[in-house]
Structure 1
Amino acid sequence: MTNVVQHTVSFGGETFAFLIERTARRKTVSISIGFDGVHVLAPSDLDDDRVLGIVRKKAAWLLRKQTAYRELGGQPVTKEFVSGETFYFLGRQYRLQLVSDQSAVVTRVTARGSTLIAPVLPNKHASVQRAAVRGGLRQWYRTRALRHFPVRAKIFSDVLGIPMPTVSVVDQSKRWGSCDARGRIYLNWKLIMAPMSLVDYVIAHEACHILEHNHSRRFWRLLETIMPDYKDRSRRLDRLGHQLIW
């Protein structure tokens, strides 16, 4: 038998709500976070104070994860990877078209006008076909991200007066971009689906982290200096982001 109770915890000036689900089958506390919030699984005989104490110890980590999920703007969309579906590239809509091809051992996507052509082997199980098309689209997007992202990073590094950073295109589920302590920038390949103004916002944001490693007032002033409308771009990315995650 299980029971579910909602609680809240305050940490660092922020309050987040979470669900505690108790079950006799559990011996330890497990904490998970996703687009639908924070969930805590706990043994049925563990009292609230002990569970809340465990959650508080994880509060800093939970807030970081919660911020990352919020950055992506909501639940990812569900894609079937079939003809007629809409996909985005630099903010423009493209229609997917699957084409039967006996030689398509690997699905290599190409663009023709506003259509993304995906050759697929005929008579394959639907799940196999979906996986092939998804893989082909992912590679098509990554190739274009590798082409565009470093060019935009060079623009902002020149504006900031810093050396051109190393730019890596990565597969991230919870972030659009990040910058490590060595000044290397990592960008989610899915970002290439967004309009260029929003791509620029993420790249400018990460480039500023090369000079300011946290979100201090100095960081935000620096970002505002090179991109006065960054707040508007950030809000637009928040609204759009979940449509680009699949």
Structure 2
Amino acid sequence: MNDRIDHDGYTVIRSRKRKTAAIRISEKGVEVRVPHWVSDRWVSDWVQSKASWIRQKNEQLSQNFANHCLKVAEGAMFPYQGEYYAIHWRVGPKSDVSLQGDRLNITITNRSKKAPEERVKACLQGWYKAEAERHIAARVLYWQELMGLTSNSLIIKNYKRRWGSCSSQGDIAFNWRLIFAEPALIDYVVVHELAHLVHLNHSPKFWHLVEQYCQNWKACRAKLNRCTTWVLW
């Protein structure tokens, strides 16, 4: 069980299972994770000693948000498999999305009273989810055969904090927003989750297995970490 206490500028999370202290910075703010026995004074002094590092990470997070934040507007650039396309929409009899050159053409209907931008977003998300199901399913089949592994099921989900998961029952799931990323990053996440079928942890053996099929996994992980704002859209 974790105890969560908000302080000025950061949140302290105490755990009886944790043996070391760590600071996590995300869109939710600064989280300081410590063992349950650590004193408030120690935490305060430690956070103060890390002030420069925390400020730097917050600046990086703000820059990443600015670079990858997606907002529906005529001509706005939206990602698909690592490339960016300008979105343009019109009103028509049937909702539709199509890729044409460097454009994402979207047709929305007038059946809803919602603002056009909301209808465009809903239409885009539906298209992205369908594309994710098609593309990721194909990559899972490819990597399963290459790695000699078989998952129990594949699900495309609406995660808000992760790219994929693997259960102890062998069920693997992926965030549909993964379709925003370039093919190499999608493959990394697929290999990562399939490797969990063998090692349901992040032990050295797990990473060794990942590296057999994705030698640049560290670079891939770093790129995905810079795109965390995608999962908020």
TM range (shorter): 0.7 to 0.9
Q: 1:4 aligns with which of 1, 5, 8?
A: 8
Question: One-letter code of the match for 2:29?
Answer: D
Matched, 1:13 2:17: no
Identify which of 116, 130, 140 aligns with 1:129: 116
Q: Matched residue of 1:16: which SS?
A: strand
What is residue 43 of structure 1 aligned with on the other side?
Answer: none
Of 62, 77, 85, which aligns to 2:76?
A: 85
Structure 2 CA distance, aligned partners of 1:186 and 1:12?
Answer: 30
Residue 36 (str. 1) matches residue 29 (str. 2): yes
**2:217 alignment partner in structure 1:** 230
Residues 184 and 100 (structure 1), Cα distance of their counterparts in 2 relative to 1, 3 Å cut: same
> Which structure 2 segments of 5+ residues have no match?
1-6, 41-60
In the superposition, the TM-score normalised over structure 2's length comes to: 0.72
Contact in 1 for aligned 2:132/2:176 (Cα 8 Å): yes
Is contact 2:88-2:104 (8 Å) kept? yes
Query: What CA distance in whole angstroms lies between the structure 2 residues aligned with 1:131 and 1:206?
Result: 33
Residues 22-76 of structure 1: per-residue CA shift (max 9 Å, x gap): xxxxxxxxxxx8532349xxxxxxxxx9x96xxxxxxxxxxxxxxxxxxxx7658
- SS of 1:109's equivalent in the other structure is strand
The aligned length equals: 197
Contact 2:76 2:87 in 1 (8 A): yes
**Is the contact between residue 193 and residue 244 of structure 1 (CA under 8 Å) also seen in structure 2?**
no
Return the alpha-carbon distance in structure 1 between the equivalents of residues 70 and 11 of structure 2.
34
CA RMSD of aligned residues (A): 3.2
What TM-score, normalized by structure 1, do the two folds share? 0.69
* SS of equivalent residue, structure 2 residue 22: strand
Map 1:1-246; keep pairs closer than 5 Å.
4=8, 11-16=18-23, 34-38=27-31, 75=65, 78-101=69-92, 103-104=93-94, 107-121=95-109, 128-163=115-150, 165-243=152-230, 245-246=232-233
Question: Are the equivalent residues in 2 in contact too, given 1:90–1:194 (CA < 8 A)?
Answer: yes
Percent identity over paired residues: 24
Task: Please give the per-residue CA displacement for 1:61-115, whole angstroms capped at 9, x wherever unaligned.
Answer: xxxxxxxxxxxx76585544221011011001111001133x24xx322222221
The answer to whether the 8 A contact 1:82-1:98 is kept is no
Q: Secondary structure at the match of 2:197?
A: helix
For 1:6 and 1:35, locate their aligned partners in 2 and report how far apart those are by CA, in whole Å.
Answer: 10
How much has 1:8 moved relative to structure 2?
5.4
Q: Which amino acid aligns with 1:96?
A: I
Partners in 1 of 2:115 and 2:71 — Cα distance? 12
Aligned to 1:21: none
Three-state SS of the structure 2 residue aligned to 1:98 is: strand
Between 1 and 2, higher relative CO (CA 8 Å, sep ≥ 6) is seen in: 1
1:12: Cα distance to partner?
3.1
Deviation at 1:159, TM superposition (A): 2.3
Question: Cα gap change, 1:12/1:158 in structure 2, threshold over 3 Å: closer, same or farther?
Answer: farther
Distance 1:221 1:130, change over 3 A: same
Q: 1:210, 1:240 → 2: CA distance?
A: 26
How many Å separate the matches in 2 of 1:241 and 1:9? 22
Q: Does the Cα contact within 8 Å between 2:166 and 2:196 map onto a contact in 1?
A: yes
User: Which residue type is aligned with residue 212 of structure 1?
Assistant: H
